[in-house]
Amino acid sequence: MAISVGFFVGTLVLWDLSIRFFKVPAYLVPTPLAVGAALVNGLVEGTFYPHILATLYAVVAGYLIGCSLAIAIGAFLAEIPIMERALMPYIVALQSMPKVALAPLIIVWFGFGMSSKVVLVALICFFPVFINTLVGIRSVNSDIVNLYRAFSASRWNILLNVKLPAAASSIFAGLQISVSMALIGAVVGEFIASKAGLGNLIQASSMTMDVATMFAVVLVLAGIGVIGNQTLQYLHRKVVFWENRNHLAAESA
């Protein structure tokens, strides 16, 4: 923690000194003090909060929908290889398409507003969780699976009690990647098709050349990303609790 704080303070000092030394105009890069003032004003006056809530709603809704579908479809295809071979090319093709290029089509289908943002976030979050689920389930120790089969366990029981728990770490890795990608998707959606949200606030600030507010909003987005990532790490430790025990056992040995 001390190292992180020291690095942050050092970055601010270097930022401020660089602006003064190179005489960078304020309309290009504001000083840390100006950004801090814009951040405090936005939070104290309450102008940031409606935009934060709008972005959070799109992020959370899209993230939950995209990740839930990714885990379900990943587990389904891992269990039925013939379906994986049939559908995988289409899933990869969808992932290869730039989501910004799909945004106008999503707006036509889902309208100008929250629905299109949620769909865009869900699409962006889908693939990392999907591929980690698929690979995680495929990597399960076959001896354990065969042991359960020897005791007449059903495919459903093996999936729930063996494969998904064994793949949990891989799935959580995908979930952590998707947190930051969800924020990117929401902001891109707000640039294109939204009247509220932090992306919309950045765009509005750019129209008035309010660079300090733009930097302040970026800091808010960074803070949301860090909180989301830390939350996923906490859930990972709580859900996949046996990993911590194995780690402690290895250290004590």
Contacts of 198 (CB under 8 A, 6+ apart): 48, 51, 52, 54, 55, 186, 187, 190, 217, 220, 221
Q: Answer yes or no: is pLDDT of 250 > 80.
A: no
Instruction: Decide if pLDDT at 101 tops 90.
Output: no
Q: Residues 208, 224: one domain?
A: yes
Q: Count of domains in the chain?
A: 2
**pLDDT at residue 95 tops 60:** yes
Per-residue confidence (pLDDT) for residue 246, from 0 to 100: 55
pLDDT of residue 200: 93
Would the pLDDT of 4 be above 70? yes
Q: In this structure, are 22 and 47 located in the same domain?
A: no
How much of the chain exceeds pLDDT 90, in percent? Answer: 67
User: Do 128 and 88 share a domain, yes or no?
Assistant: yes
d(CA 17, CA 28): 15
Are 104 and 160 part of one and the same domain? yes
As a whole number, mean pLDDT of residues 5-13 equals: 89
Q: Residue 242: CA atoms inside 13 Å, Cβ hemisphere, count?
A: 5
* The predicted structure's pLDDT at residue 248: 47
For residue 72, what pLDDT is reported? 97
| 95 and 20 together in one domain | no
Q: Are residues 19 and 86 in the same domain?
A: no
Nearest to 202 by CA among 214, 210, 190: 214
Under DSSP, the state recorded for 224 is: H
**Host domain of residue 18:** 1-29
pLDDT at 118 > cutoff 80? yes
pLDDT confidence of residue 253: 52
* Same domain? 75 vs 182: yes
> Averaged over 44-73, what is the pLDDT?
96
Instruction: Pick 247 or 131 by higher pLDDT.
Output: 131
231-236 own/partner pairs: CB under 8 Å, 24+ apart: 232/172, 232/175, 232/176, 232/179, 233/176, 235/172, 236/169, 236/172, 236/176
pLDDT at 251 over 80: no
57 and 116 inside one domain: yes
What is the structure's pLDDT at 42? 95
Averaged confidence pLDDT in the chain:
90
Q: What is the largest CA-CA distance in the chain?
A: 75
Q: What is the pTM of this model?
A: 0.90
- In this predicted structure, what is the pLDDT of residue 56? 97
Identity of residue 72:
A
DSSP, collapsed to helix, strand or coil, labels residue 203 as helix
Compute the distance between CA of residue 73 and CA of residue 251 in angstroms, rounded to an integer. Answer: 37
The one-letter amino acid code at 241 reads: F
Residue 195: band (very low, low, confident or very high) from pLDDT cuts 50, 70, 90: confident
User: Structure tokens of 75?
Assistant: 């587990």
- Non-local (6+) Cβ contacts of 128 within 8 A are 70, 174, 177, 178, 181
Residue count (the chain)? 253
